[in-house]
Amino acid sequence: MEKSKELLSMLENPEYFLNAQRQTLESRIEAKKLTESEAKKAKIESAKSVGRKASMDLLNQSWGDMIVDIIGAHEEIEGKLNESKEALLLGEYLNKSDNQEYALKRLINVITDPYGSILFNKLLLILKDYPADGDMMDILRDTLLNLSDVNNFKSVFTKYKFLISLIDRITPQAMVILQDYLKWPPFSMSMIINNNHVEGDMSKEFTDAYSHLKGIDDPNIVSRIQYSVQELQKNEFVFGSQISTGQVIMQPSEVGMDLIGFINHG
């Protein structure tokens, strides 16, 4: 119970924990400042050194213990933040489940299966690289829901491992746009058609039409949308084809549809 309270506190007030760590380290730096003679000696000794030896000289001075402490503090902060994000992911997973007791049992099936456990760990590794309040949390929650529906992890292991690698390949913003594929608008552009597919970059034209549809006029957001579309094109998650009006429509590719199904639940 105390552990769950600590994780809840981290999720609700992460700044409090981080500020406490910062103040502790800063106060130790103040208490452990090099004396004038030590600083002079360090400067002289370091001036005699080149490359890595200069850094080693600093470790041999009074700051050595402090550097080790900073590394330790960072590891503690990272560990607690990761634990709190993992707890939030499981909370989100349960919150979206119709039957929470059943969902917990399905989760146990995931983590106690040799193949399921590997897939679950890969989701947690992705989670480490993102904040708790971003789009990636929602994507991983739905992915975990889909993963918990599996009865034979060995049979889907290769496919699911590949799909998880795709999640780690593009930004959450690109995946959010991919999930919205049913609302993609047609647009006009100069084009070259090859096997009914439009060749070349269509990110600018699509972004203009999509941003207009969504009522987005902030140039920074528009720029991020275009970058996300370029990601989708580069990774071959989408393609463009000409429709009867002579306009172009962007569509998910086969692998794009596989990814959409994997990161959407319900």
Q: Which pLDDT does position 64 carry in this prediction?
A: 63
Higher pLDDT, residue 66 or 117: 117
**Mean pLDDT for the stretch of residues 129-145:** 93
Q: Where are the domains of the chain?
A: 2-85, 100-167, 172-253
**Mean pLDDT for the stretch of residues 128-137:** 90
The whole-model pTM stands at 0.76
pLDDT of residue 35 exceeding 60, the answer is: no
74 Cβ contact partners less than 8 Å away, ≥ 6 residues apart: none
Q: How many angstroms separate the CA atoms of 121 and 150, rounded?
A: 16
Q: How many angstroms separate the CA atoms of 241 and 222, rounded?
A: 23
**Mean pLDDT for the stretch of residues 76-86:** 82
Q: How many angstroms separate the CA atoms of 193 and 69, rounded?
A: 61
Domain 172-253, architecture per CATH: Orthogonal Bundle (1.10)
pLDDT of residue 254 exceeding 80, the answer is: yes
**Mean pLDDT for the stretch of residues 196-201:** 86
Q: How many angstroms separate the CA atoms of 235 and 241, rounded?
A: 17
pLDDT of residue 92 exceeding 60, the answer is: yes
% residues pLDDT > 90 (the chain): 58
pLDDT of residue 43 exceeding 80, the answer is: no
Angle in degrees, CA 97, 174, 160, rounded to 5: 55
Q: Which pLDDT does position 219 carry in this prediction?
A: 96
Q: Which pLDDT does position 194 carry in this prediction?
A: 81
pLDDT of residue 85 exceeding 70, the answer is: yes
Provide the pLDDT confidence category of residue 36 given band limits of 50, 70 and 90: very low
pLDDT of residue 77 exceeding 50, the answer is: yes
Q: For the chain, what is the mean pLDDT?
A: 84
pLDDT of residue 49 exceeding 50, the answer is: no
